Structure 1
Amino acid sequence: MKRLQDKIAIITGGASGIGKGIATAFVKEGATVAIVDLNEEIGNQTIKELQEFQPDSMFIQANLAEHDKLENIVKQVINQYGKLDILVNNAHASKNMPFDQTTKEDLDLSFDTGFYPTFYLMQAALPYLKQTHGKIINFASGAGINGDANQAAYAAAKEAIRAISRVTANEFGPFGINVNLISPIANSPGVQKWAKEQPEYYQSMLSNIPMRRLGELESDIGRVAVFLASEDANYITGQTIMVDGGATKLR
């Protein structure tokens, strides 16, 4: 049997990048996925690819910054499938800016698309995850853990996500729900674009990764997400898993 056979998963930002890599890894392991994304065109393209493996998978077009509508995502999935096993909070938008130039608008963008959707979707999903002893996978970043320059808004939101993930690991544990985080360095379209625009900075970053490469979206990041979503990770919760080729070593 496949590791996620008959599981139902919500994946935000699932139309492209890391989210698509996770969604692809999930459907190949038997899960049915509901990918959530703002971009309707790319979302429709991606869901067609995913449905080759799991025909019942679906695309939900949504603006995660519209917080009062986030509960509808969970309700739509429950109405469609009758249960929820896995919640992956991957989506996040942010701007890079020196600290003294970071504005409230910059902070709002990062928290509105990253922290608050993670918070509210976890709340909305909790009653259903209690029923399935489900899994939550949130996303951290080395930008927050290491305090990367020009990343104040992004780092702040990511560390806030780490904080509530630790809190909910304690609170949800008695219900058999696992809450973990992935902190990746991935070969995403955004990173590929950045590598072309700033090749020297990109090479400098690459040289600080012991594995000397970026993580592949499906085979590296997606496969770790499969593990955390599977029964193999039933006794792991509240942890930040660094999927970054050894760039950051937590103590």
Structure 2
Amino acid sequence: MRMKNKVVIITGGGKGIGFGVSKAFASEGASLVLTGRTPSTLEQAKEQLESEYHVEVLTVTADGSDEAAVKNVIEKTVERFGHIDVLINNAQTSKSGVLLQDHTKEDFDLAINTGLYATFFYMREAFPYLKESHGAIINFASGAGLSGREGQSSYAAAKEGIRGLSRVAATEWGQYGINVNVVCPLVETPGLAKWKEEYPELYAKTIKGVPLGRFGDAEKDIGRTCVFLASEDASFISGETITLQGGSGLRP
């Protein structure tokens, strides 16, 4: 129960990778705040988490690209729990699979607004409370940006922007005891299954490049790592990018 009495905000926490991360934190006793754009998805996740793990879950419908909506999430969190200990920026939408030359400005804006701007808004609004708790921020980036994967131009641009933002925050906010890290997961999700169906050649190329021969599990592989990064065990780790990609994230 390493996260008992801790309050954790997880964007996109009602499904996919976010829900796997939510389960990992719930299993450690954390109180959760789940955000997303679909109320029914959030409520279903809340019911399952509270039933299985007996933790308190607050759901707040929000689009991270909406500055006012993000402010509301932070306000609702503090109203309910009084403090914030961990912020996890996971949610992101993009036109994955669309080649660079086929991107429109609207396609590019989608990735930047829902990824980079959303992460910025949440970090800025949560900062006063994380400063009080000497908390942790975990931002999600991607191997798409690290290795320049085909069909991922706007997504990679947003994710690399998030990495830059995270490194600056680690520098500026270290004095307040806030550690800021980035994880780059490669995970089996419903979205990935859809991508496999629509772009089978890109999918095959991706899995062929994973030395461990599989995609990660959202709870066991990604969620458990996030729990570690949010725990006292990782209090001296900050400004790092951790690739959780079965060996495909090897870098010099």
- Mapped contact 1:31–1:54 kept (Cα < 8 A): no
Query: What is aligned with 2:104?
Result: 103
Structure-1 separation of matches of 2:101 and 2:183 = 29
Q: Percent identity?
A: 43
Query: What is aligned with 1:42?
Result: 41
Q: Is 1:24 aligned with 2:23?
A: yes
- SS of 1:186 mapped into structure 2: coil
Structure-1 separation of matches of 2:200 and 2:118 = 33
Q: How does 1:83-98 map to 2 (within 5 A)?
A: 83-96=83-96, 97-98=98-99
Gapped regions of structure 2 (runs ≥ 5): none
Q: How does 1:41-190 map to 2 (within 5 A)?
A: 41-52=40-51, 53-96=53-96, 97-190=98-191
Q: Which amino acid aligns with 2:28?
A: E
- SS of 1:228 mapped into structure 2: helix
- Mapped contact 2:64–2:121 kept (Cα < 8 A): no
Q: Which amino acid aligns with 2:172?
A: E
- Mapped contact 2:26–2:55 kept (Cα < 8 A): no
Q: Which amino acid aligns with 2:75?
A: K
Structure-1 separation of matches of 2:216 and 2:126 = 29
TM-score, normalised by the number of residues in structure 1: 0.96
Structure-1 separation of matches of 2:201 and 2:102 = 24
Q: How does 1:194-205 map to 2 (within 5 A)?
A: 194-205=195-206
- Mapped contact 2:35–2:59 kept (Cα < 8 A): yes
Query: What is aligned with 1:9?
Result: 8
Gapped regions of structure 1 (runs ≥ 5): none
- SS of 1:213 mapped into structure 2: coil
- Mapped contact 1:147–1:155 kept (Cα < 8 A): yes
- Mapped contact 1:178–1:234 kept (Cα < 8 A): yes
Query: What is aligned with 1:225?
Result: 226
Q: Which amino acid aligns with 1:21?
A: G
Stretch deviating more after TM superposition (137-146 or 62-71): 62-71
Structure-2 separation of matches of 1:124 and 1:197 = 37
Q: Is 1:33 aligned with 2:32?
A: yes
- SS of 1:51 mapped into structure 2: helix
Aligned residues: 250
Provide, for residues 27-71 of structure 1, a one-character-per-residue CA deviation record: whole Å limited to 9, x for no partner. Answer: 101111000010111111111011121342111111222223311
Stretch deviating more after TM superposition (180-189 or 202-211): 202-211
Deviation at 1:16, TM superposition (A): 0.3
Structure-1 separation of matches of 2:251 and 2:130 = 29
Deviation at 1:193, TM superposition (A): 2.5
- Mapped contact 2:30–2:55 kept (Cα < 8 A): no
Q: Which amino acid aligns with 2:67?
A: H
Detail structure 1 runs of 4+ shifted over 3 Å in the superposition.
196-201
- SS of 1:64 mapped into structure 2: coil
- SS of 2:95 mapped into structure 1: coil
Structure-2 separation of matches of 1:214 and 1:100 = 28
CA RMSD, Structure 1 to Structure 2 (Å): 1.2
Deviation at 1:198, TM superposition (A): 4.3
